[in-house]
Amino acid sequence: MRLSQNSIALYVVVIALGFLASLLFPNELAQISGLVIVVVLIQTWILANKYMSVGQRAFVLYAVVIICGIAAPFAFPNYVTQIAILWLMILFALTWDMMGGQMGYNSLGNIIFFGVGMYASAIVQIGLYYDVAQYTSHAGAVKVQYDWFQYVFGMGLGLIAAAISAVVVAVVLGRVVFGLRGPYFAIGTLGAAIAAGELVGAWDYVGGGGGITMPTFPGSGDERSLFFYFALFGLALFTFAFLKWLYSRRYALAVNAIRDDEDKAEAMGIHTLRYKTVAWAMSAFLLGMSGAVFGNMSGFVEPLEVAFPTITFGIFMVLMALLGGKGTLWGPVLGAVVFHIIKELTWTYFLGWQWVALGMLIIINVAYFQQGILGWAQEKWPDFFGLTVDESDTREAAADASGEASK
């Protein structure tokens, strides 16, 4: 039986969801129903493999993920925020991989775009109806109460501003740091991220280190969490779909070529700077929007912990992509799911030791498991992923062989 990359991903996603389900509901009924869900899903998948074409199977996989995504906040109403953050993590890992995995530029500073987007949206959303400097100088004394239209309209504009400003920062920063390669690029971008947090912290207009309170959500608490859940879910879904399309284009081979040998790529006439800039700008675009949503979701924007959390979110992005398997489409998704579950568990059950546990995970990942979950699975079961090679000598022989196989 031949399975695609997709099916491994599904098993892991399904088992993870089931696992999460049984843990989140520590009573027997919920655990049993979690198990039933897992069994039903796996059974569906096995049947799908037996009776469906590759295209149909992919369709089922996407349908299952989307249905789970839509159902999750209603099935687990107490954990809407955690699951929303999972989608954010998936977006983080995917956008980091655009540079680090696909292009070999290991950025430790992608969090900049998240923070820039967050602040851009904050300024636009507040500035739409208030004087921002005056608002921030009263530090929370003014409660911003928008009606639905004002809120949604402001946030829409905020998202646009977030995406644009993140792209501008990516293009400008790229001019500076794209001259650096290898570890120098990593350190350079890390420095830029730390500096960004400090700079914003010293900028009084946006409240400096004291931060900005975002407009209050006009609906109820439940409506609020659902609103932001679906915003992040939609953004992650869009990111995945966009990358799936993008990686079937010339773009993918060009950035992979830059990863493998940039000097060769230059010698072959590839517009390397253009590809690097566009790659970074696209990942900044997506991160900027996610920052805007997250800022509104947390309700309060502040430079070090929320907007530019370099050593948490900034490093998690890298870890998740490495854990799942960098340079693949599904690897970062898998990595984000596994990482988020491990992280939530250690934060719950090993409180006080969570950073140690996380450190161990990093060491094991980097020292013994560099290819990540997906890379490891592909190496172990190449047939499983359709990575077998037709060794026909000529094009005629290859045509014959594929003709016979299809008979």
Partner 1 sequence: MNSIIEIKDVSKAFGGVIANQSISINVAEGGITGLIGPNGSGKTTLFNSIVGHHPIDSGSIKFEGAEISTFKVQQIARLGLLRTFQQTRIYSKMNCVQNMLISIPHRTSGILDMFKAHSPETNERALELLEFVGLFSKRNLIAGDLSFGQQKLLEFAMALMNEPKVLLLDEPTAGINPTLINGLIDRLKMANEQFGVTLFVIEHNMRVIMNLAEHIYCLAHGELLAEGKPDDIQNDQRVVDAYLGAH
Site for partner 1 in 241-260 (CB under 8 A): 246, 248-251, 253-254, 256-257, 259-260
Task: Output the smallest distance, CB 143 to partner 1, in A.
Answer: 45
Q: How far, rounded to the nearest angstrom, does the alpha carbon of residue 196 sit from its chain's CA centroid? A: 21
* DSSP-H helix ranges across 128-220: 132-137, 148-177, 183-201
Token digits of residue 123: 């300024």
Asked if residues 271 and 224 have their Cβ atoms less than 8 Å apart, the reply is no
Q: Contact with partner 1 (CB under 8 A): which of 46, 392, 400, 402?
A: 392
Comparison of 172 and 267: residue with beta carbon closer to partner 1: 267
Binder of partner 1 out of 233, 275, 330, 385 (CB under 8 A): 275
Is 395 a binding residue for partner 1 by CB under 8 A? The answer is yes
Token pair 């230059």 is at which residue? 266
Work out the end-to-end distance of the chain between its first and last CA atoms, rounded to an integer number of angstroms.
17
State the number of binding residues for partner 1 (CB under 8 A): 34
Does residue 403 belong to the site contacting partner 1 (CB under 8 A)?
no
Helix (H) or strand (E) holding 301: strand 300-301
* Shortest distance (Å) from residue 323 CB to partner 1: 19
Shortest distance (Å) from residue 267 CB to partner 1: 6
Task: Name, in order, each residue with C-beta under 8 angstroms of 13's C-beta and a sequence gap of 6 or more.
Answer: 65, 68, 333, 334, 337
Closest distance to partner 1 from the beta carbon of 326 (Å): 11
Nearer to partner 1, 22 or 102 (CB): 102
Among 12, 13, 237, 270, binds partner 1 (CB under 8 A): 270
Choices 26-34, 215-223, 227-235, 273-281 (CB under 8 A): range interacting with partner 1: 273-281
Minimal distance, residue 176 CB to partner 1, in Å: 19
- Smallest separation, CB 377 to partner 1 (Å): 17
The residue from 26, 390, 405, 406 that contacts partner 1 (CB under 8 A) is 390
Q: Which helix (H) or strand (E) holds 202?
A: none
Cα distances from 284 to residues 84, 115, 197, 275, 296, in angstroms, run: 20, 10, 16, 14, 18
Distance CA 139, CA 393 (A): 73
The nearest distance, CB 269 to partner 1, in angstroms, is 3
Contacts of 151 (CB under 8 A, 6+ apart): 215, 217, 218
Residues that bind partner 1 (CB under 8 A): 246, 248-251, 253-254, 256-257, 259-261, 263-272, 274-275, 278, 327, 389-395, 398
